[in-house]
């Protein structure tokens, strides 16, 4: 279950494992919208498009398995702590940053019956993070794994090179974080 990858978000080395596990499950036909499958045997060749396992158990609809997969995906992108601080990007795979790729999530519920969104666009030398919707009650911690080795500076906020984190005030609408060359 990809949801077990949530525990890795607390550490440093394997923070993206939940997303990698979810990706593997999708590619191996073990999860899908409203479904969950296990005990999958390698797919056999068929005339049908897509991945069609030889054997497996599961159900559709089946929300328990899907809900924990969705949770690890969302928690990897954005999560609010009990003190109102919002963590951005803690589990985003490094290969998702660069080549102008966009990661965007809107309408995320935060305390005080508010909702916020985040848009992350990565380039080879920088990451532009834009916040939409309501402001959180506390700081925003931008904590992408790529910052651990490549953090160079930011247009606003407190840059902590040791932890690979940029902390911005709750009213920040946009910040550009600069990356060192690989």
Give me the tens of pLDDT residue by residue for the chain, a chain 182 residues long: 778 889 999 999 899 999 998 888 777 666 666 566 666 666 667 776 766 666 667 766 667 777 888 899 999 999 999 999 999 999 999 999 988 999 999 999 999 999 999 999 999 999 999 999 999 999 999 999 999 999 999 999 999 999 999 999 999 999 999 999 97
Domain of 164, in residue numbers = 81-179
Q: Tell which of 74, 89, 123 closes a domain.
A: 74
Half-sphere exposure of 34 (CA within 13 A, CB side): 2
Q: Where are the alpha helices (DSSP H) in the chain?
A: 17-27, 63-77, 147-150
- Phi–psi pair at 95, nearest 5 degrees: -70, -10
- What local confidence, expressed as pLDDT, does residue 5 receive? 87
Together in a domain, 117 and 170: yes
Together in a domain, 95 and 58: no
Together in a domain, 159 and 175: yes
CATH code, domain with 147 = 2.60.420
Q: Tell which of 53, 74, 95 closes a domain.
A: 74
pTM, two decimals, is 0.86
Whether the Cβ atoms of residue 140 and residue 167 lie closer than 8 Å to each other? yes
- What local confidence, expressed as pLDDT, does residue 62 receive? 67
Whether the Cβ atoms of residue 144 and residue 134 lie closer than 8 Å to each other? no
Together in a domain, 133 and 49: no
Together in a domain, 125 and 143: yes
**Dist CA 75 CA 166 (whole Å):** 18
- What local confidence, expressed as pLDDT, does residue 118 receive? 99
**Dist CA 96 CA 144 (whole Å):** 10
């Amino acid at each position: 279950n990809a949801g077990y990858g949530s525990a890795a978000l607390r550490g440093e080395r394997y923070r993206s494992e939940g997303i990698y596990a979810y990706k593997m499950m999708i590619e191996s036909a073990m999860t899908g919208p409203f479904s969950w499958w296990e005990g999958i045997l390698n797919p056999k060749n068929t005339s049908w498009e897509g991945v069609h396992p030889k054997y497996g158990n599961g159900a559709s609809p089946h929300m328990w398995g899907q809900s924990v997969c969705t949770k690890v995906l969302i928690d990897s992108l954005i999560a609010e702590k009990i003190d109102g601080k919002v963590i951005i990007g803690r589990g985003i795979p490094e290969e998702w940053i660069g080549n102008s790729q966009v990661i965007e999530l809107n309408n995320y519920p935060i305390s005080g019956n508010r909702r916020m969104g985040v848009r992350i666009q990565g380039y080879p030398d920088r990451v532009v993070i834009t916040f939409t919707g309501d402001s959180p009650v506390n700081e925003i911690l931008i904590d992408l794994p790529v910052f651990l080795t490549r953090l160079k500076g930011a247009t606003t906020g407190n840059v902590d090179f040791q932890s690979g984190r940029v902390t911005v005030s709750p009213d920040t609408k946009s910040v550009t974080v600069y990356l060192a060359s690989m």
